[in-house]
Amino acid sequence: MELFLQQLVNAIALGSVYSLAALGLTLVFGVLRIPNLAHGALYMIGAYVTYFALTSYGIPYIVAIGISAAVLALIGVIVERLVFHPLRNAPHTHHLIAAVGVLFFLQSGAQVLWGSEFREMPSPFTGIVNVFGLNIGQQRLVVIFASILVMVALYLFLKKTVPGQTIEAIEQDRTGASLVGIDANRVSMMTFAISAALAAIAASLVAPINLVFPTMGEALNLKVFAIIILGGLGSIPGAIVGGFALALAEVFSSTYISNAFSEAIGFLFLLVVLAVRPTGLFSKGA
Amino acid sequence: MWRSRRKLMVLPLALAAFFMAACGGGGGEGGGSGDGGEVVNIGYSGPLSGGASLYGENVLSGIEMAVEDLNEEGVEIDGQPVTFEIASLDDRYLPNEAATNAQRLVQQDDAPVVFIPHSGGIFAAQSINTDRNEFLLGAYSSDPAILEQENPLTMMIPPRFDNYMEPFVGTTMDEFGDSLGLIPTESEYGQEWTDQVTEEWEAQGGEVLSNNGVDYTTTTDYAGPVTQALSEDPDVLFIGGPSQPTALVIEAARNQGFEGGFIVMDQAKVEEMEEFTSEENINGSVGVMPLIESDEAGTEDFVTRYEEEISEDRLPVSEVGYNYQAMHVVAKAMELAGSTDDPQAIRENIEPALAEVEDEYKVINFPEGFTEEGHLAGPVVATFVEDGEYTELEVPQEQ
């Protein structure tokens, strides 16, 4: 039982990070229909920005995450303007290739600028909390609570504010939204900004329990794609549920079935869902 | 509109060109200003981008430092002054790329020697280095399987990892108890280590628990596998992959209350791990001896030079030192052979060259002999970390 609970906490922490990263990806897909393969690279850059804000400038951790989110939002806008906007009328394959290009550019850029060594992000939350006989690292609790907070904030933004509603409007009906005077350009930029900021927050939260290095986004990239396909492309609840589902599947399959099998099991789970519901769990029948 | 868009497109192109130039510039450094004389290219193919690039850069910097010494000191081969230069190519850790690179280095740069720092690439290169384009293979991998190929032009540089098993297992079993949990990295190399550790642990009468290995390069959180391994209540954990993630595994284990010992795979370096977890957590680990703790004649100066020339924030790890020594051995072998382009002759002179290398170039477990299978062998000292001290652990060498 103790093993089960300990692993449950681990899975929820992992799932929070997966969900946050997947949310950004699914937003971009929903609004722009672009599979942004560079998402993992934005995630990595986000971790570096927080790292340098913390270590070179001595900015407190939480503020550093905010700065990183802002910087990445700006980078997201730049990427949208320079790369994806000029391709808006091009066939879909062009977006894919451009996204791969951005991924390589950011990854090798990071390696040239900051070197390929692993860096450890110092976090003020280093203690261990003992709850019902479980040893839980404070940073894991921070990951879980911060993720929930960000998800709630995102939900409120999308549902309760005008700019947020314009995103949903474009997502639902691009032509209709344009007809009522919504500026699709502005929404594209805003979506990229939010997406990159979410990636930065996810990376900054997880970096203290992992490490910061130029290829840190690679493994995550594949997983977040699986998550948004699982949850339904473009679906926000889908990304959240998908993120936790994949994390739970990974952690518990390795605990009770086989460790070697855990990476595969996430994808097996994905295949089963797609066989039953080819459009994903929460698709809107798009 | 059109105009401004075109302008916008130019910027990323310019940036891309800048980065490509920056990447490409890394290759040809290291050569001194040879005033006339012959230029000999030393080939290197290793990971210089991607997740393993730090390792590849460490190996390369060892060779570079040796080449710098040699050019400064001035080497004469067969009466001719010789300048060494390094031709390096990125193989992204891929075996087939390494073989292609080796071929290129030999054909285009006339490299008589090619260093490759990973067993997959070494196996691939062993299938081509005795053909038309002969070259001596500087093999930096502790996998003894590279000797079993009986390749006549291989020089295996580091100590064989199978020799670590007996002292590592013996020490930790005596100290902590006889059940062993496994959380190694899931690479081919990690798998081989796991098999050997398992075999030795059982041979010495211990119990091996389930394998909870994870891929250290893609795992986001180590808490899960650690929890699982600890649920079986092990006395000792076998761990290891790149140093920094290995430190995180130790940290996770200690945080979850583990008080036993660690057998650390030779890929991970204890001195690098110390930067990522507290010294206290590392107590009770057996692993390879840090270069900085080595008592060879040249170690101290080497460490100072590394700090000045290569990196202030990183320590010179053993792969830097082993490749540094190997390059000095190769240069001496060329001198004795009186040839820079006959790999056979260079190979034959490696054994006598060992005695000729000056003490100041000896930095870690300097080899005493060169075996028939092609291994730079000698006494090896590993370490057991006790109360923050690196106590020496003799590693008996059986071939």
CB spacing of A10 vs B221 below 8 angstroms? yes
Tell me the residues of chain A between 222 and 261 that have a Cβ less than 8 Å away from chain B: 250-251, 254-255, 259-260
Residue B11 pLDDT: 46
Nearest by CB to residue B16, choosing from A13, A105, A220, is A105
Could you give the residue ranges of the DSSP H alpha helices within chain B? 2-24, 53-73, 95-109, 119-126, 145-148, 165-176, 188-203, 223-230, 243-255, 270-273, 279-282, 299-309, 318-337, 343-348, 350-356
Report how far residue B7's alpha carbon sits from residue A138's, in angstroms, rounded to the nearest whole number: 49
Q: Does B36 touch chain A (CB under 8 A)?
A: no
Q: Which residue from B184, B190, B318, B315 is spatially nearest to B262, judged by alpha carbons?
A: B184
Average pLDDT score, chain B: 88
Measured between beta carbons, which residues in chain A are less than 8 angstroms from residue B22?
112
Phi/psi of residue A139, each to 5°? -60, -35
Please indicate whether the domains covering B33-158+296-380 and B163-292+382-395 agree at the CATH topology level: yes
User: By the 8 A CB rule, do B139 and B122 touch?
Assistant: yes
pLDDT bucket at B3, cuts 50 / 70 / 90: very low
Residue B34 pLDDT: 43
pLDDT bucket at A210, cuts 50 / 70 / 90: confident
Q: Does domain B33-158+296-380 have CATH number 3.40.50.2300?
A: yes
In a domain, residue A282? The reply is no
Burial of B152 (0-12, 13-18, 19+ CB in 10 A): middle
Using the predicted structure, report yes or no on whether residue B6 has a pLDDT greater than 50: no
CB spacing of B220 vs A14 below 8 angstroms? yes
CB spacing of B22 vs A112 below 8 angstroms? yes
State the DSSP H helix or E strand holding residue A44, giving kind and residue range, or none if neither: helix A39-55
- DSSP of A101-167: HHHHHHHHHHHHHH-S--BPPP-S---EEEETTEEEEHHHHHHHHHHHHHHHHHHHHHHHSHHHHHH
Residue B399 pLDDT: 58
Report how far residue B60's alpha carbon sits from residue B43's, in angstroms, rounded to the nearest whole number: 10
Residue B375 β-bridge partners: B156
Using the predicted structure, report yes or no on whether residue A190 has a pLDDT greater than 60: yes
Identify the CATH number of the domain in which residue A56 sits: 1.10.3470
Query: What CATH code would you report for B163-292+382-395?
Result: 3.40.50.2300
Residue B2 pLDDT: 44
> What are the angstrom distances between the C-alpha of B150 and each of A227, A254, B341, B375?
48, 40, 22, 11
For residues A165-178, average pLDDT: 89
Using the predicted structure, report yes or no on whether residue A89 has a pLDDT greater than 60: yes
Residue B35 pLDDT: 52
Report how far residue A17's alpha carbon sits from residue A203's, in angstroms, rounded to the nearest whole number: 8
Using the predicted structure, report yes or no on whether residue B109 has a pLDDT greater than 60: yes
Using the predicted structure, report yes or no on whether residue B177 has a pLDDT greater than 90: yes
Question: For chain B, what is the largest distance between any 2 Cα atoms, rounded to a whole number of angstroms?
Answer: 78
State the DSSP H helix or E strand holding residue B41, giving kind and residue range, or none if neither: strand B38-46
For residues B113-123, average pLDDT: 94
Measured between beta carbons, which residues in chain B are less than 8 angstroms from residue A21?
none
Q: Does B191 touch chain A (CB under 8 A)?
A: no
Report how far residue A220's alpha carbon sits from residue B237's, in angstroms, rounded to the nearest whole number: 27
For residues B12-28, average pLDDT: 43
Residue B10 pLDDT: 45
Residue A252 pLDDT: 87
Q: From A203, which residue of chain B is nearest by alpha-carbon distance?
A: B220
Residue A255 pLDDT: 81
Structure confidence by residue, pLDDT tens digits, B280-334: 999 999 999 999 999 899 999 999 999 999 888 788 999 999 999 999 999 999 9
In a domain, residue A126? The reply is yes
Measured between beta carbons, which residues in chain B are less than 8 angstroms from residue A13?
221, 223
Q: Which residue from B396, B379, B374 is spatially nearest to B141, judged by alpha carbons?
A: B374
For residues B177-192, average pLDDT: 91
pLDDT above 70: percentage of residues in chain B = 91
For residues B235-245, average pLDDT: 92
> What are the angstrom distances between the C-alpha of A157 and each of A35, A178, A198, A203?
23, 20, 13, 21
Q: Choose the most confident range, by mean pLDDT, from A193-197, A275-279, B212-216.
A: A193-197
User: By the 8 A CB rule, do A33 and A84 touch?
Assistant: no
Q: Choose the most confident range, by mean pLDDT, from A122-126, A132-136, A137-141, B170-174.
A: B170-174
Domain of residue A182: give its range.
2-276
Average pLDDT score, chain A: 89
Residue B298 pLDDT: 93
Using the predicted structure, report yes or no on whether residue B396 has a pLDDT greater than 90: no
For residues B263-292, average pLDDT: 92
In a domain, residue A284? The reply is no
For residues B217-243, average pLDDT: 89
Least confident of A131-145, A203-217, B155-169: A131-145
Q: From B314, which residue of chain A is nearest by alpha-carbon distance?
A: A117
Measured between beta carbons, which residues in chain A are less than 8 angstroms from residue B215?
263
Structure confidence by residue, pLDDT tens digits, B338-395: 999 999 999 999 999 999 999 999 999 999 999 999 999 988 999 999 998 999 999 9
DSSP secondary structure code for residue B185 in this structure: B
B187 vs chain A: nearest CA distance in angstroms? 12
The total domain count for chain A is: 1
User: By the 8 A CB rule, do B367 and B377 touch?
Assistant: yes
Residue A234 pLDDT: 87
Measured between beta carbons, which residues in chain B are less than 8 angstroms from residue A263?
215, 218
Strand B113-116 to strand B38-46: parallel, antiparallel, or no bridges (unpaired)?
Answer: parallel
Tell me the residues of chain B between 251 and 280 that have a Cβ less than 8 Å away from chain A: 255-257, 275-276
Measured between beta carbons, which residues in chain A are less than 8 angstroms from residue B23?
108, 112
Measured between beta carbons, which residues in chain A are less than 8 angstroms from residue B15?
105
Residue A284 pLDDT: 60
Least confident of A254-258, A273-277, B24-28, B123-127: B24-28
Mutation target to probe the A interface, by most A beta carbons within 10 A, among B1, B9, B90, B244 is B244
Mutation target to probe the B interface, by most B beta carbons within 10 A, among A10, A80, A255 is A10
Higher pLDDT, A174 or B102: B102
Number of Cβ within a 10 Å radius of residue B216: 26
Using the predicted structure, report yes or no on whether residue A230 has a pLDDT greater than 60: yes
pLDDT bucket at B36, cuts 50 / 70 / 90: low
Residue B19 pLDDT: 46
CB spacing of A112 vs B211 below 8 angstroms? no
In a domain, residue A286? The reply is no
Interface predicted TM-score (ipTM) over 0.90: no
For residues A256-276, average pLDDT: 79
Q: Does A55 touch chain B (CB under 8 A)?
A: no
Least confident of B145-149, B266-270, B311-315: B311-315
Measured between beta carbons, which residues in chain A are less than 8 angstroms from residue B19?
105, 108-109, 112
pLDDT bucket at A286, cuts 50 / 70 / 90: very low
User: By the 8 A CB rule, do B266 and B289 touch?
Assistant: no
Using the predicted structure, report yes or no on whether residue B25 has a pLDDT greater than 80: no
Residue A129 β-bridge partners: A136
Measured between beta carbons, which residues in chain B are less than 8 angstroms from residue A111?
49, 53
For A94, half-sphere exposure in the C-beta direction (CA atoms, 13 angstrom radius) is: 9
Residues 6+ apart with CB under 8 A from B127: B99
In a domain, residue A86? The reply is yes
Q: Which residue from B114, B113, B39, B107 is spatially nearest to B77, judged by alpha carbons?
A: B39
In a domain, residue A283? The reply is no
Using the predicted structure, report yes or no on whether residue A253 has a pLDDT greater than 80: yes
User: By the 8 A CB rule, do B290 and B271 touch?
Assistant: yes
Report how far residue B160's alpha carbon sits from residue B288's, in angstroms, rounded to the nearest whole number: 12
CB spacing of B49 vs A111 below 8 angstroms? yes
Residue A174 pLDDT: 84
* Residue environment code for B114-138, b if the CB has 16+ CB neighbours within 10 A, otherwise e: bbbbbbbbbbbbbebbbeebbbbbb
For residues B181-198, average pLDDT: 91
In a domain, residue A36? The reply is yes
CB spacing of A86 vs B210 below 8 angstroms? no
Domain residue extents for chain B: 33-158+296-380, 163-292+382-395
The pTM for the full model equals 0.80
B114 vs chain A: nearest CA distance in angstroms? 23
